[in-house]
Amino acid sequence: MMQRGVLSADQRLWSSALKCSRSSSQLCKEKCFYITTPIFYVNAAPHLGHLYSAVIADCLHRWKLLQGFESRFATGTDEHGLKIQQAADAAGKDPLTFCTEVSQRFETLFSSCSVSFTDYIRTTEQRHRRAVEHFWSVLWHKGLIYKGSYEGWYSTQDESFLMPSQVGDALDPSGKEVKVSLESGHKVEWMKEENYMFRLSSFRSLLLDWLVKNPGAVQPERFHQAVLQWLQEDLPDLSVSRQRSRLQWGIPVPGDPEQTIYVWLDALVNYLTVVGYPEKHERWWHVAHHVIGKDILKFHAIYWPAFLLGAGLPLPQVIHVHSHWTVGGRKMSKSLGNVVDPFEHSQMFTNDGMRYFLLRQGVPDTDCDYTHDKVLKLLNAELADSLGGLLNRCTAPALNPAQVYPAFCSHSFPRDRRGRAVEEDYHMVETVRSLSTVVEKHYESMHVYKALEAISACVRQTNGFIQRHTPWKLDRRDSKDVRWLDTIIHLTLECLRVYGTLLQPVVPEISDRLLTRLGVQSQERSWKDLDFLGRYFGTDCSFEGRPLGSNCGLLFSRLETQSGDKQKTMKSKKPAQ
C-alpha cells in the first residue's frame, strides 16, 4: 500500500500531466516542435533498424521546418548497463573508450545520411548525469522510490525485468534447457537482490485515463490498443536500481554508492536532458514527440509516462511507433548472416536512395522486408526513370532551348476547357493542386509511405501528360504551337516544383538538385511558397521567364545489378543536351 503522502499527490500529478495536452491552437501558435529517436545501445554497430528510426524522425523534423516551425531533433547513444560492461570487457577496452568508438559510428552514419539532428546526446555526458540525479531525487522525495527486494526474471540482453507470464522454455545451442523471454527470445536469469523500487503499481489507472482521453497519444492505433491491453493486468512495482557489485557501469544512486540506477530510467531521462532539464525544459517539453521501435513500446508507453507523472511533468504529445525490417522474409540475425550494414548499402544505393526506400516501403504497423532487388527496382522506377526522366525531358535544350521557365498561355489551357488541354490534363491539375493537403495529412501521422505513394502517382500523371501531347512534335514556326509548347513545359515545371518542395523531408539532396535546376532559390522552398500554377488560377507566377538553374547532371542515376548480386551506380548515361 502506498504512503498517505503519495496517494494525496496523485491528483496533482495527473493535473500536471494534463498540461501537456494543451489545445492544438496553442501549440500551433507557438510553432515549436521537439522530436526524438530512441538513444541507441552501443553494444554493437548500427544496423538498418537504427537508420530507419533516425530517418523517420529526421523526416518529421524537416517537415516541421518546411512548415515554418522552430524544431529541435535529438538522437544519440545509450551507454550504460550490464550489456555494455560485458561487451567492453569482451573487447578488452575500458567502457568509456568502447562507448565512444561505437557512438562515433552512429553519429557518422546519421550525418552521412543527412540526418539533421540538432543535438546528439550521450548518456555518459555530465549534463545527463546531472539531469538523471535530479529526476531520481524528485521521485525519491515524493515517496515514489523505496528500498525493497526484487526477486524475478531479468534479461541482460533486453535490460528488462519480466513477469513469469513473459518467460518460456527453450534450448540453447548446446541443447541445454534454458528460460527465455517470449517476446525477444533472449535468455533470462533468476535474480534476487535488494535494490530500489518505483511504485509503478500506483499509476495504472492514471495511465489508462491518459490513453483513453488521448487516443492519438500512441500511434498507429494497433500499438495504442496493445498498451491498453497491457494495462488490463496489474502493474507490479519496478526495480529501478542494481547492486553496484553486479553493475559498475552506470550512474550511482544519489546518496547510496552501493546501488546503480537502472539503465532504462537513466536512458529515458535523455529526452529531458536535451531540452535543459531541470531548469530550462518547459518550452520544449510541452511539444515532445518520440519515434521508437515496437520492441521498446512498454518502456516508452508505460514506464516513461509513469516516471513523468511521478515527477509532475507533462507527458509526450505523441509516441510514434514503427515496426521492424526483415531480410528476405527472415528476421535479421548475425547467425543467419543477413544483417544489413547501413554504411555499405547507403554507399551502394546512395544516401537519398536509402532514405527514399526506407520511407517509401516502411509501413509503421507491420514489419517490412528488405532485399537488394526491391531497392533497385523501386529506385530505378520512381527516382531515376519517373522523376528524373520527367525533369530531364522538360529541361533538355532540345525541348527548352532558351533554358527558361516559359510563359503559361491561358488560351491554350483555359479554365472553360475549350483549349488544347484534354479532360485528363484538368484532372492532373486538380490532383497536383490538392497534393499538398494529402501529403500534410500523411506526414503528420507518420504514414510517410502514403505521402510518397501520392507524390509518385502524380509524377506518373505528369509523365502521362507529356507523353499524351508529344511536345517534341510541335511546329516551332507556328505561334499557336509555340504557346502550347511553352504551356506544356510551364505546367510540367510547376508540377516538378511542387514535387521537389514536398520531397525535401525525404530526399533532401535530390530535392535540392531538382529545385536548383528549376531556378528555385533557397528562400522559395517552404510550404507557404507552393502556390501551384498561379497563372491558371488567376494569380502571378514569380518563376515565369526566369532562367533555369545550372545543369548538375542526372537527378538520380540508374542502378544496375552486377554478378554476385552487387549493385553499382551507372555513370555512363548523360542528361540530354
- Whether 349 is covered by a domain: the verdict is no
Is residue 501 within 8 Å of 522, Cβ to Cβ? no
pLDDT over 60 at 23, yes or no: no
**Cα–Cα separations (whole angstroms), residue 258 to 111, 221, 245, 320, 494:** 39, 43, 7, 37, 66
Choose the weakest-confidence range: 108-122, 162-176, 221-235, 317-331.
162-176
Asked if residue 493 belongs to a domain, the reply is: yes
Per-residue model confidence (pLDDT) at position 17 = 52
449 within a domain of the structure (yes/no): yes
User: What mean pLDDT do residues 45-59 have?
Assistant: 96
Determine, yes or no, domain membership for 404: yes
* 412 lies in some domain: yes
Kindly state whether residue 460 falls inside one of the protein's structural domains. yes
Task: For residue 461, tell me if it sits in a domain.
Answer: yes
Cα(221)–Cα(215) distance, integer angstroms: 8
Asked if residues 257 and 194 have their Cβ atoms less than 8 Å apart, the reply is no
Between CA 300 and CA 194 the distance in angstroms is: 25
**Residue 564 in this model has a pLDDT that exceeds 70:** no
Dihedrals φ, ψ of 236, to 5°? -75, 155
Q: Is residue 56 part of a domain?
A: no
Residue 179: the pLDDT is 83
Q: Is the pLDDT of residue 500 over 90?
A: yes
Q: What is the mean pLDDT of residues 542-558?
A: 93
Other beta carbons within 10 Å of 511:
22
CA dihedral 328, 371, 183, 343 (to 10 degrees): 140
Average pLDDT over residues 441-449: 96
Contact status, residue 276 vs residue 260, Cβ threshold 8 Å? no
376: pLDDT strictly greater than 70: yes
Whole-number pLDDT of residue 187: 83
pLDDT for residue 468: 96
Helix (H, G, I), strand (E, B) or coil at 487: helix
Give me the pLDDT at residue 181, please.
82
261: confidence class by pLDDT, cuts 50, 70, 90 = very high
d(CA 48, CA 328): 14
Spatial separation of the C-alpha atoms in residues 419 and 354, rounded to whole Å: 43
Between 164 and 267, the more confident residue is 267
The secondary structure of 6-17 as a DSSP string is HHHHHHHHHHHH
Helical spans, DSSP H, in 78-123: 82-91, 95-112
Instruction: Name beta bridge partners: 36.
Output: 74, 290
Does residue 22 surpass a pLDDT of 60?
no
- Give the position of cell 479554365: 415
Q: Report the alpha-carbon distance of residue 389 to residue 384 in Å, rounded.
A: 6
Number of domains in the chain: 1
Written as nine digits, the cell of 75 is 538522437
Mean per-residue pLDDT for 286-308? 97
C-alpha cell at 378: 523501386
**pTM confidence score:** 0.89
In the sheet where 241-243 sits, what is the strand order? 241-243, 256-261, 252-253
Q: How far apart are CA 405 and CA 400, in angstroms?
A: 9
Q: What is the pLDDT, as a whole number, of residue 561?
A: 73
Average pLDDT over residues 518-522: 96
- Using CB atoms within 10 A of its CB, is residue 49 exposed (0-12), middle (13-18) or buried (19+)? buried
* pLDDT recorded at residue 553: 87
Q: Is the pLDDT of residue 492 over 70?
A: yes
Instruction: Quickly tell me which residue has 516502411 as its cell.
Output: 362
When computed from its CA atoms, the radius of gyration of the chain, rounded to whole angstroms, is: 27
What are the residues whose beta carbons fall under 8 Å from the beta carbon of 62, sequence distance 6 or more?
Answer: 116, 504, 505, 508
Average pLDDT of the chain to the nearest whole number: 90
Q: Which domain holds residue 445?
A: 384-547
Cell 502493474 -> residue: 235
Q: What CA–CA distance (Å, rounded) separates 505 from 66? A: 8
The CATH number that applies at residue 464 is 1.10.730.10
* DSSP classification of residue 370: E
182 CA to centre of own chain:
27
C-alpha cell at 103: 557512438
All cell numbers assigned to 362: 516502411
The cell numbers describing 377, all together, are 527496382
Structure confidence at residue 12 as a pLDDT band (50, 70, 90): low
Using alpha carbons, list the distances in angstroms from residue 384 to 152, 378, 392, 534: 55, 9, 10, 28
For the chain, give the percent of residues with pLDDT over 90: 77
CB atoms within 10 A of CB 288: 26
